[in-house]
Amino acid sequence: MNIGVRGKLFAASLVLLLAVGTVSGLYLEASMRSWLEARIADDLVDHARTCADVVEVAKAADSVERVDGLADRLGRSTGARITIIAEDGRVLGDSELDPQAVYAVENHGRRPEVLDARARGRGVIERYSVTIGTRMLYVAVPFEREDGLRGVARASTPLSEVDAVVGRLRLLLLVAGAIGLVLAVIMSGLASHLMTRTLRALVQTTRDISRGERSSDLPVTSGDELGGLAGSVRRLAADLEAGVDELRQERDRFETILESMSEAVLALDADGRITLANRAAAALLGGPEVLEEGRPLLETLRAPQLVDLIDAARSASASTEFDLAAAVGASHRRIVARAAPISSSGGVVVAMHDVTEVRRLETVRRDFVANVSHELRTPVSIIRANAETLLSGALESPDTARRFIEPMQRSATRLGALISDLLDLSRIEAGQYRLEPTGLGLAPLVQRAAEGVSLAADENETRVEIDVDAELQLRADPDALEQILVNLLDNAIKYSGKGGHVRVGAERRGERIRVEVSDDGPGIEERHRARVFERFYRIDTGRSREMGGTGLGLSIVKNLITIQGGEIGVEPNRPKGSRFWFTLPVG
């Protein structure tokens, strides 16, 4: 049962009051009783002695009637019961009996007070009187008259008076006790009210603190221990609040950092359950619902490498790279994950980084380097082999020499073209290709480009038809646009074969000018269409090389179009051939 401070205080003061009241009451009663009895005994001794003296000197006390009469008078004057007993124990007179009754009274010779009085000169005895039916005090003293009468004079009185006094005292004590009780209730109530006010405030404050709320101001009402405690709690609350504020700031800072990170960060508990996941983690792994707090991570990500990583990270930092199975409608992701143990909780922090693009670029770069080396190797080996042959004697014969020098020249030209294309490409990709877009008339530029490829067209017996409205204006860098047109025309002439037919057309579509270069060559199959713009992608490598192609032309063209805000594509030409098109803004 919870009785509270007020109840405890009241109970304590009640017990104290009862204990003190009972002990002091009993003591008071006992000492009062013995004091009263001593007083009564003293009085009785005096009365008995007076009686003895009176009997000794009374001249006419020679018969029972006279002695009894004397006893009656003495009894009246002392207020006690007076009994005169002869030496042989016969009762000679009694203040409360008439002479007839005195004759009938039994012999008092064996009464203990009488025996004591005879033996020691005084007998004081307290005992129950069967005659009167109450507790009595008897005092007896001996007497001896000159005429030879000897005996004992006894004075006695009932102790009921003592009982009455003690009873009154007891009543008094009970009343005092009741008053004390009421006072105790009031006092303990008052004291506990003062105490509990501070205590309640203390309880409220500690409750606020434990709930993490800002604690209400705690009043320090007294300078006692409770006041001291309130002061300590107040300081504690202030310290805690300052600490919590600091932690809150720390947490906010931590959260901001975590949320602004591009890396996915996850914290797991000792059982591998998610305790924290940042926004990047949700974005990488398929939404916040997948990373619900308390969910085992490995239920969400079923990657064996991740299981191993988390196991390893329980003791020391570790890292791994793995393929993340594709979410619905997405492609596989390549993930680099690092994990470190959280020493205090036995959990693990996992940081994940999507390296899909990085790895793709690495592959592109690797392939590019391999392609470049491959492209360079053939002409360089031709030059070296032929130079060696020439040096080892072929130079002597001019006809033979020519046979070896011509391939060397072709290889050198190819190398030159390759290096020039590579330089263009790297300058464009590095952003060093300075473009100055201006408003241009399209027709003259197409004309100039066509003139640039006229030699190749003549060699190939190809007719280049230009169908461009003289009014069309577009916004582009003139050199870049010419390079684009020359490249597309060159390809069209090259791949359409002898006697081919090439056409350049243009039209305005909204805010764009669409330019088309079509041929009636072999065309490009659907599966190659998107890829012909990739670096070194060729449908027929041998044929392309034979025709002096580097495999970089279309990729340069695409780059030049894209950086000028345009688009490029290829579609089949009717009835045969291909149609390369690009768009640029209206000038």
Binding residues for ligand ADP, per CB under 6 A? 491-492, 495, 519, 521-522, 524, 532, 537-540, 544, 549-555, 578
Nearer to ligand ADP, 437 or 521 (CB): 521
CA distances in angstroms from 516 to 56, 179, 360, 470, listed in the order given = 172, 118, 32, 15
Could you give the strand order of the β-sheet that contains 347-354, starting from the edge strand earlier in sequence? Answer: 274-277, 264-268, 347-354, 333-342, 318-324
**Phi (first) and psi of residue 229, to 5 degrees:** -65, -45
Q: Tell me how long the chain is.
A: 587
CA distance 274 to 295: 6
Question: Whose CB is nearest to ligand ADP?
Answer: 549
Q: What is the nearest approach in angstroms of ligand ADP to the Cβ of residue 334?
A: 29
**DSSP letter string, 223-276:** SSHHHHHHHHHHHHHHHHHHHHHHHHHHHHHHHHHHHH-SSEEEEE-TTSBEEE
Residue type, 231: G
End-to-end CA distance of the chain: 94
Residue 181 burial (10 A CB sphere; 0-12, 13-18, 19+): middle
Q: What is the nearest approach in angstroms of ligand ADP to the Cβ of residue 512?
A: 22
Nearer to ligand ADP, 47 or 538 (CB): 538
Nearer to ligand ADP, 42 or 461 (CB): 461
Q: What is the nearest approach in angstroms of ligand ADP to the Cβ of residue 386?
A: 23
User: Could you tell me which of 349, 355, 293 has the C-alpha nearest to residue 324?
Assistant: 355
Tokens of 307: 């299981």
Q: What is the nearest approach in angstroms of ligand ADP to the Cβ of residue 479?
A: 18
Nearer to ligand ADP, 483 or 544 (CB): 544
Nearer to ligand ADP, 84 or 418 (CB): 418
Q: What is the nearest approach in angstroms of ligand ADP to the Cβ of residue 458?
A: 18
Is residue 561 a contact partner of residue 567, using CB atoms and an 8 Å limit?
Answer: yes
Q: What is the nearest approach in angstroms of ligand ADP to the Cβ of residue 493?
A: 8
Nearer to ligand ADP, 424 or 519 (CB): 519
Q: What is the nearest approach in angstroms of ligand ADP to the Cβ of residue 456?
A: 12
Nearer to ligand ADP, 548 or 585 (CB): 548
Q: What is the nearest approach in angstroms of ligand ADP to the Cβ of residue 580?
A: 7
Strands 274-277 and 438-441: unpaired
Nearer to ligand ADP, 356 or 371 (CB): 371
